[in-house]
Amino acid sequence: MKRTLVLAVALAASGCRTAPPAEEARRFLERAESELLQLSNEASQAAWVQSTYITMDTEALAAKANERLITAGVRLAKEASKYEKAALPPDLQRKIRLLKLAITLPAPSDPAEAAEMTKLAAGLESAYGKGRYCPGGDEKRCLNVDEITRIMASSRDPKQLLDVWQGWRSIAPPMKKDFARVVEIANKGARELGFADTGALWRSGYDMPPEDFARELDRLWEQVKPLYEQLHAYVRWKLREKYGPEAVPENGPIPAHLLGNIWAQQWDNLYPLLAPEGADPGYDLTAILKRRNTTPVDMVKYGERFFTSLTFEPLPPTFWERSMFTRPRDRDVVCHASAWDVDNVDDLRIKMCIEITADDFNVIHHELGHNFYQRAYNRQPFLFRAGANDGFHEAVGDTIALSITPEYLVRIGLLDRAPDASKDLGLLMARALDKVAFLPFGLLIDQWRWKVFSGEVKPEQYNRAWWELRRKYQGVAPAGERGEEFFDPGAKYHVPANVPYTRYFLAHILQFQFHKALSDAAGCTGPVHRCSIYDNKEAGRRLKEMLEMGASRPWQEALEKVTGTRQMDATAIRAYFKPLEDWLAVQNKGRPVGW
C-alpha cells in the first residue's frame, strides 16, 4: 500500500503548565489533524504523479511536498511532547501516541538535512522505477522489472536465469550511498523524537513495547517454521533432480535464481516442476481469463464484485477514471502494485501494470482490500484513518483472495464445475509455494533494516548481512560471491522506497486467522481451504465492523472483532496446510530437512 502520509502532532496551546487540560489537548489535536490532512493530500497527489510519470521535475515536486509533510510532522511531534504525561481521555492519548509513531522517515530539525533526506528518498524510489538491465550492454534489448519477472517465471534455462537475476541487481549499487545517507539522517530525526534509532521507532507501533514485539515475531516464526522446512526440503530435492547435483546442493541453501521469482520470495512459478502426481487441479485460471479475452478493467471488476457481495458499496466513479491499470508506452512509471487513498476520504485508486494472469487476479483482490479498508474508516478522525496495525491492512485483501476457491470460480462463471476434492493436494501445493514460501522473506527484510538502523550493520557490511539473513531464515543463497561492491537489498522495491516490510509477514499470519474465523461465521463446514465467504452477509458484517474501527483502538481489539481472540496465532496456517504438510513429510522421508 502506498500512503505518503507521515503523521505527527501539531502546535500545542501557549503557557507552561505541566499538565494541560484535556480541552486544550483536544483543540491542539484538531488543529494538528486539519494541518496534516492538507499536507498529506498534497504529498499524495505529488507522489502519484511521481510514480506514474517519472521525470526530474515530478521527483522534485514529490520531494518538496513530502519535505513539507515530514518537516511539519517532526516539528509538531516534538511540540506535542508536553501532552505525553498529561491526564487525557484514552482517545486523545492514543492520538498523541499514533502521531509520533507513524512517522516512517523522521526528518531532523535541521531544514537542510530534512530537504536532503526527502530529495534522496524520492530519487531512490525513482531509480528503482527506471531500473533496466541491458544484456550484453545492448541498449536496444534493455529489460525492465516486468520483463525480467516474466523470464524468471517461465525460463528453465539456468544460464539465462542467472544472467537476468544478476542483471536486475546491477541497478542497485548506485543506490547504496544515498540509502546510507537516508539512514543516517532518519536516525538523527528518530533520536530527536526520543527513539534509539528509526528501527526502534518502527517496532514501537504495535500496541506493545518494541522488545515484546520482536519476541512476538520470533514466536510466530517458530510456529510456522516446521511447515516451511518441509516445503523447502521438497523443493530443494526436486530442483536437484531438474538441474543436477552440481547446481543444487543436497542439504544446503537453494540457489536464489532457480526459484522462479526475481527475489525468490514466492515459488509458485515452479508449480509445474513440483506438482504432486495426479494433482492437476483440472483448470488453469490464467488460461481461462485469456480465453475469455479478459481485460485489465475486467480483472478489477471481478475484485470489486467480491467486496460488493459482502455488502460493501461499489468503488466511486473516480476510481475508474484516475487509477493506472496498465503500463503506459510513453513514459517511465513505478509498476509495483499499490493502493492509494489520495484525499484520505474517497479518492481511491490502484496503480498497477496488470497482466492477465491468475497471480494478478489475486493481487487485484489484495490491492482492493486496501481501498475498501481505507473507505471503511474514512469517518474516523484523521489520525485514526489507518489499519489497526499495518499488518491488518495487508491481510484484508489476502483474506479475500483465500476465498478464490474452485467453488467461487464456479459461482462467478469462470468454471463450469469444481474439481473433485481429491485434487486439493495440488491446490494446496500451489498456494503453499506462494504463501508459506513467503513467510521468512517477509520477516527478514526488516530484520536487516533494523540492524542497519541500529548501526549493528554498517554500509561496508550491507550485502554480507543481507545474505546471512537470507540463509538463516529462507535457506536461500546466491549462485556466486556477492561482495560489498553489490547492494542486493536495493533490488527489492521496499528498500529504496523505505516501506516497512514486517507488515507483510504479519499479514500472512493474520489472513489465515481471518479466513478461518470468517469461514466459520459463514457456516462453512468443509475443509477450511475449500471455504469461500463470497456473498455471505454475516462474514461481510464482521469484516466491515473491524475495518470501520481503523486505528481507533488497539489492534488486539480489532482482531477480537473477527476472530474472538486477542492474540495472533500461526497455527491457523498449519491447520490450513495440514494435508500438504503430512504429504511433504512422507515425500521427504530419508532426505535432509533444513540447511
CA dihedral for 103, 106, 111, 114, sign (positive or negative): negative
Three-class HEC string of 294-348: CCHHHHHHHHHHHHHHCCCCCCCHHHHHHCECCCCCCCCCCCCCEEEECCCCCCE
Q: Same structural domain for residues 166 and 26?
A: no
- Last residue of one domain, picked from the residues 194, 226, 242: 194
The answer to whether residue 557 is domain-embedded is no
> In this model, does residue 102 exceed pLDDT 80?
no
31 and 91: one domain? yes
Residues 457-509 pLDDT 10s: 999 999 999 999 999 999 999 999 999 999 999 999 999 999 999 999 999 99
Find where cell 495440514 sits.
578
Measuring CA to CA, how many Å separate 3 from each of 26, 101, 260, 302, 337? 26, 15, 30, 24, 13
Residue at 508 is within a domain: no
The fraction of the chain above a pLDDT of 70, given in percent, is 97
Say whether pLDDT at 20 is over 80.
no
Of residues 155, 118, 115, 117, the one with CA closest to residue 135: 155
Query: Are residues 148 and 31 part of one domain?
Result: no
Same domain for 136 and 39, yes or no, is: no
Asked if residue 392 lies in contact with residue 561, where contact means CB atoms within 8 angstroms, the answer is no
Pair (42, 99) in one structural domain: yes
pLDDT in tens, 226-268: 999 999 999 999 999 999 999 999 999 999 999 999 999 999 9
Query: pLDDT for 298-356, tens place per residue?
Result: 999 999 999 999 999 999 999 999 999 999 998 989 888 999 999 999 999 999 999 99
* φ, ψ for residue 156, nearest 5 deg: -125, 20
Same domain assignment for residues 28 and 165: no
Residue 377: inside a domain: no
The overall average pLDDT reported for the chain is: 92
What average pLDDT does the segment 117-140 reach?
92
Active-site residue (options: 216, 494, 557, 560): 494
Annotated catalytic residue within 67, 125, 367, 394: 367
138 and 101 part of one domain:
no
Residue 107's pLDDT band (boundaries 50, 70, 90)? Answer: confident
Q: Are residues 166 and 184 in the same domain?
A: no
Nearest residue to 442 via CA among 366, 507, 491: 507
pTM of the model: 0.86
Give the tens place of pLDDT for each residue, 379-420. Answer: 999 999 999 999 999 899 899 999 999 999 999 999 999 888
Q: What is the pLDDT of residues 509-548, one digit of tens each?
A: 999 999 999 999 999 998 999 999 999 999 999 999 999 9
Please give the grid coordinates belonging to residue 50: 511521481
Q: DSSP for 358-369?
A: HHHHHHHHHHHH
Same domain? For 187 and 81 the reply is: yes
Q: Is residue 68 part of a domain?
A: yes
| Residue 112 covered by a domain | yes
Instruction: Identify the domain containing residue 81 by its residue range.
Output: 22-128+179-194
Q: Could you tell me if 155 and 67 lie in one domain? A: no
- The pLDDT tens digits of the residues spanning 337-352 come to 999 999 999 999 999 9
Could you tell me if residue 483 is inside a domain?
no
Instruction: Kindly tell me the sign of the dihedral angle through the C-alpha atoms of 357, 262, 266, 123.
Output: negative
Identify any residues that bridge with 548 across adjacent strands, giving them in sequence order.
none
Residues 188, 112, single domain; the answer is yes
Q: Is residue 233 a part of any domain in this protein?
A: no
Total number of domains in the chain: 2
Do 60 and 136 lie in one domain? The reply is no
Query: Does 165 map to a domain?
Result: yes
Please report which confidence band the pLDDT of residue 271 belongs to, taking 50, 70 and 90 as the band edges. very high
- Specify whether 494 is catalytic: yes
